[in-house]
Structure 1
Amino acid sequence: MLIRYGYEIALTCPQPTPLVCLLAVHEDRAADLRTPETFFTTPAGLANSTYLDLYGNRCRRLTAPAGDLTIWGDATIADSGLPDRVLPEAREVPVIDLPDHCLVYLMGSRYCETDRLSQTAWDLFGAVAPGWGRVQAICDYVNGHIQFDYMQARATRTAFEAWQERIGVCRDFAHLAVTFCRCLNIPARYVNGHLGDIGVPVVDPMDFSAWMEVWLDGAWHTFDPRNNKPRIGRIVVARGRDATDVPLINSFGPHVLKSFRVWTYEVAE
């Protein structure tokens, strides 16, 4: 199947302001693009460049002029049309046997305070059989524990605060599940990307989504504590330890978000 995805974001800056944007499809999906990603700005012609960060994410640098700026991107990507894989027999890997690149995803980070939730994680899930089932038990718990509410979104809410307050948005679900996994010595990383309404009831307005990937049996596997069921058509934009590593827009100076629009939908072959 083919999926068209994109965004339109309008900002206002009081002065020229450097930006780093993580809005491009991740490098491991670049080969699936059927139309190249386009990137435009209004005003037009702003100099920009891209680079890969420490986590392999494609980042774009530019300087917003004083006043209004609109950034716009769009592309079409090929997808298998299959839902997320479910592998109930996948096993946890002992820490001593983990690849080096997994170790950073066992440690606490800005929004994932393993030190504050370690005992809670073991109390809740320590008796659950290790493996896929234990990660799914974490997702089931987080899905039932947190109430989704856009109006209660808070950029500074941590996993521990989400657990205490029992409210949040998809990033809070992901942060709490990632933290519980790490507390149990299961590598977990935060993922930001596009997730359309393919095969499920339509949700409007559309937004970027957050979920997690967990290392089991020698590979990364997708889990989504917010939706908590296999979905079709995930498009990864960025991965990192938590939301700190994958902001859609990182501005080195003040800005005001004026408008934000995202689209993800199936198109004809």
Structure 2
Amino acid sequence: MKLRVGFQLTYACTQATPAILMMNTHPSVAECMLEADRIWFDPPLSFTHYYDAFGNLCTRIVTPAGGSLVVATEGVLDLPDTVETHPVDGSEHSVESLPPDALQFLLGSRYCETDLLSNFAWTLFSGVAPGRARVLAVCDYVHDHVRFDYSSARPTRTAFETFNEKIGVCRDYAHLAIALCRALNIPARYCTGYISDVNLPPPHADQDFCAWFEAYLGGTWQIFDPRNNAPRTGRVLMARGRDAADVPISMTFGAADLIGFKVICEKHE
């Protein structure tokens, strides 16, 4: 299946503003790219790429002073047209057997307060078999506990606030599930990217960037999605980190307001 992904974002820039962008697909999906998602700007400007500590491709720019800036990209991938599946091995690792690079994903972070959710997590999930069954139970709980409401989106909402408010968007579902998994000694990391509506019945909502998480089980990082709570077709990773604080689509260091937003994720004929 050929899948076209991309976006067009427009910023109002009152002054020259440094910014860091995470707007390309993740390097791990490079082998699936038929047409690379090269980023472009209108008006044109100079930029540099670098890789952050989590392996995400980042772009550094300085916005123009005055007027607007359009940032856009578009790429085509070759992906399976079937729903995603988990690896056979979903076993849980003891903390002492985890690889060193997984240990940081056991710790609390900006949006994932493991300390505030630890007692609850062990009370609710200690009776569930360790491993994938426990992570799936966490996803079921979060999916049922939180009501999706796009109008309630708040960039400062944390996992514990989502737990108490019982409302949020996909990033809030992911943060709560991540915090619960970490409290249960299961490494979990935040992911953002595209999810297509392929193989889903209409009507389809307007596309947006999406969030899910990966848990370390059976020696691999495995995908879980408490917002949708079902396997999907056409999931494309852009960036991953401890939580959303590590992977903002754009981080501006001054005045630059987002005034236009369009995301594309669709079959490409």
Q: Distance in 2 between matches of 1:88 and 1:25?
A: 27
Q: Deviation at 1:37? A: 1.6
Aligned to 1:29: 29
Q: Which one is further off, 249-258 or 186-195? A: 249-258
Aligned to 1:236: 237
Aligned to 2:93: 93
Aligned to 2:50: 51
Q: Deviation at 1:84? A: 1.9
Q: Which one is further off, 232-241 or 63-72? A: 63-72
Aligned to 2:102: 102
Tell me, yes or no, if the aligned pair for 2:89 and 2:217 is still in contact at 8 Å: no
Given residue 61 of structure 1, which amino acid in structure 2 is its aligned partner? R
Alignment of 1:75-86 (within 5 A): 75-86=75-86
State yes or no: 1:175 paired with 2:175.
yes
Aligned to 1:73: 73
Q: Distance in 2 between matches of 1:205 and 1:81?
A: 21
Paired residue secondary structure (2:234)? coil
Given residue 61 of structure 2, which amino acid in structure 1 is its aligned partner? L
Q: Deviation at 1:230? A: 0.4
Given residue 259 of structure 2, which amino acid in structure 1 is its aligned partner? K
TM-score normalised to structure 2 length:
0.97
Q: Distance in 2 between matches of 1:111 and 1:81?
A: 34
Q: Distance in 2 between matches of 1:72 and 1:159?
A: 31
Aligned to 1:214: 215
Instruction: Point out where structure 2 has 5 or more consecutive residues left out of the alignment.
Output: none
How many residues are paired up?
267
RMSD: 1.1
Of all paired residues, the percent bearing the same amino acid is 45
TM-score normalised to structure 1 length:
0.97
Aligned to 1:146: 146
Aligned to 1:224: 225
Superimposed CA distance per residue, residues 76-117 of structure 1 (whole angstroms, 9 cap, x where no aligned partner): 011122322135751100000000010000000000000111
Paired residue secondary structure (1:24)? coil
Tell me, yes or no, if the aligned pair for 2:193 and 2:238 is still in contact at 8 Å: yes
Aligned to 1:7: 7
Tell me, yes or no, if the aligned pair for 1:20 and 1:61 is still in contact at 8 Å: yes
Seen in structure 2, the aligned counterparts of structure 1 residues 184 and 192 have a Cα distance that, compared at 3 Å, is same
